[in-house]
Amino acid sequence: MDFAYTARMQELRQQVGGFMDAHIFPNEQRYHEQIAAAGNPFAHPAIVDELAAQARTLGLWNLFLPESPLGAGLSNLEYAPLAELMGRVVWASEVFNCNAPDTGNMEILAQFGTPEQQARWLQPLLAGEMRSAFCMTEPDVASSDATRIQLTIQREGDDYVLNGRKWWASGALRPRCAIFIVMGKTAPDSPDAHRQQSMVLVPRDTPGVTVVRNLTVMGYEDPESHCEVTFENVRVPISHLLGGEGDGFAIAQARLGPGRIHHCMRCTGAAQRCLELMCQRVTSRIAFGRPLAEQGVIREWIAESEIEIAQARLLTLQAAWTIDQQGKKAAQDMIAMIKVVAPNVLQRVADRAMQAFGGGGMSSDFPLAFLWTQGRTLRLADGPDEVHKRSIAKSALRRYAK
């Protein structure tokens, strides 16, 4: 295994890091001010467009999409340190058109979309002009088991008719979100539980689609929006089917592989930022006659955080390397492992940093509390920890319990 940064990676790292220092960190406050001024928590702030135009000119655009002529042509391993840098600020990835859930949606459109579907939805997504949502989870069934989903997709002549209810569709209330990728059942009675599902492309403005509400995330109104959506006799032409009938489960697996490790890369970056903020704070703040940094307990938090971040980074790189060298299937266990590790590391490091910040750590004056919620929610989003551990254990038992 060789995770050494190539010359190209080092150059890109410098470029993305330089961009973060010059344009993202200095505008963190402005981003929130522009959203507040818009009077809509999901508004698209002008600063994102301004900076995206600059990033695109510099070629820092669509850096994900490994092995595709549509992206920057980076491998997963090459992309990892760049996504880590972007993860230091929650909205930065969008400036580089590398944000969830659009990246995962673009990947499956690139992999499974017809030329017509790609022209209509993938191209504007790649250009950053459109946003998308992925609708799989349902409030009425345990959706960590995708075979349980209930939304129906029935063929009627040249149309599919959709009926059902989804929630946690991230991005669905963003002003530019125009397309939903919806997973439902075309063959609920098929004896093969993994061939019952299909995916259909549904424009947000299709009659019968209702974005019912946004769900707060641990009390936060996340600018990304996470929505409950109902589908009542929603009719789309059969040409809106993504892949073939019965391919839905397999497409979901394809989507979640690299998407999961992108989250992990960003989590590592977010944890790194929390650690750096903690170090800066404890050296400048005096209590009981000396800087907080001189307290043994605080040094322990710093050391533990440093160790855990290094472990998460290495495991992420190993997962990325395995996908590149041996394919997604061979990397399945690695992806599951890092998907458990990285959000937990972020949660623990952010928690220590919040404690070191005192009351300030609980406020929105610093990014720590929101980053903590990112770690906490990512222990559920894209599959709960327990489900990943289940598959890791299954695989270990297969290997060792002979």
Instruction: Quote the tokens at residue 291.
Output: 């800087």
Q: Which of 101, 248, 257, 367 is in the footprint of ligand FAD by CB under 6 A?
A: 101
Which residues neighbour 347 within 8 Å (Cβ) at sequence distance 6 or greater?
372, 375, 376, 379
Q: Count of residues binding ligand FAD (CB under 6 A)?
A: 22
Q: Does 384 bind ligand FAD (CB under 6 A)?
A: yes
Q: Which of 184, 223, 361, 383 binds ligand FAD (CB under 6 A)?
A: 383
Contact criterion met (CB below 8 Å) for 101 and 171: yes
Applying CB under 6 A, the span of 23-31, 345-353, 381-389, 393-401 interacting with ligand FAD comes to 381-389
197 lines the binding site for ligand FAD (CB under 6 A): no
In the bound state with ligand FAD, the residue whose beta carbon lies nearer, of 275 and 337, is 337
Least distance to ligand FAD, CB of residue 145, Å = 6
What is the number of other CB atoms lying within 10 angstroms of the CB of residue 78? 20
Q: Can you state the angle between helices 28-38 and 46-57, rounded to 10 degrees?
A: 140
Q: Which residue in 144, 154, 214, 295 binds ligand FAD (CB under 6 A)?
A: 144
Binds ligand FAD (CB under 6 A): choice among 154, 206, 210, 377: 377
Q: Which of 36, 37, 142, 218 is the binder for ligand FAD (CB under 6 A)? A: 142
Does 109 engage in binding with ligand FAD (CB under 6 A)?
A: no
- Binding to ligand FAD by residue 225, rule CB under 6 A? no
Nearer to ligand FAD by Cβ, of 351 and 382: the residue is 382
| 380 touches ligand FAD by CB under 6 A | yes
Q: Is residue 385 left, alpha or beta, with left meaning phi > 0 and alpha meaning psi from -120 to 50?
A: alpha
Stretch that binds ligand FAD, among 68-76, 130-138, 187-195, 323-331 (CB under 6 A): 130-138
Report the residue number, 250 or 380, with the smaller CB distance to ligand FAD. Answer: 380
168 contacts 139 by C-beta, under 8 angstroms: no
- Which tokens sit at 23? 């344009």
CA distance 375 to 217: 12
The 3-state DSSP class for residue 21 equals helix
- Which is closer to ligand FAD, CB of 152 or CB of 295? 152
Residue among 134, 160, 231, 321 that touches ligand FAD (CB under 6 A): 134
Show the DSSP H helices in 164-242 as ranges: none
Window of 261-269, 277-285, 339-347, 380-388 that interacts with ligand FAD by CB under 6 A: 380-388
Query: What H or E segment, with its residue span, contains residue 105?
Result: helix 102-112
Please report the DSSP string for 86-102 in residue order.
Answer: HTTSTTHHHHTT--TTH
Bin 164: left if φ > 0, else alpha if -120 < ψ < 50, else beta.
Answer: left
DSSP annotation of 220: B
Q: How far is CA 1 from the centre of its chain?
A: 26
Out of 9, 169, 278, 371, point to the residue binding ligand FAD (CB under 6 A): 169
Nearer to ligand FAD, 52 or 387 (CB): 387
Neighbours of 74 (CB within 10 A): 21
143 sits near ligand FAD (criterion: CB under 6 A): yes
CB count within 10 Å of CB 144 equals 14
Residue 33 Cβ, how far from ligand FAD at the closest point, in Å? 24
What residue ranges bind ligand FAD (CB under 6 A)? 101, 134-137, 142-144, 168-170, 217, 226, 377, 380-384, 386-387, 390
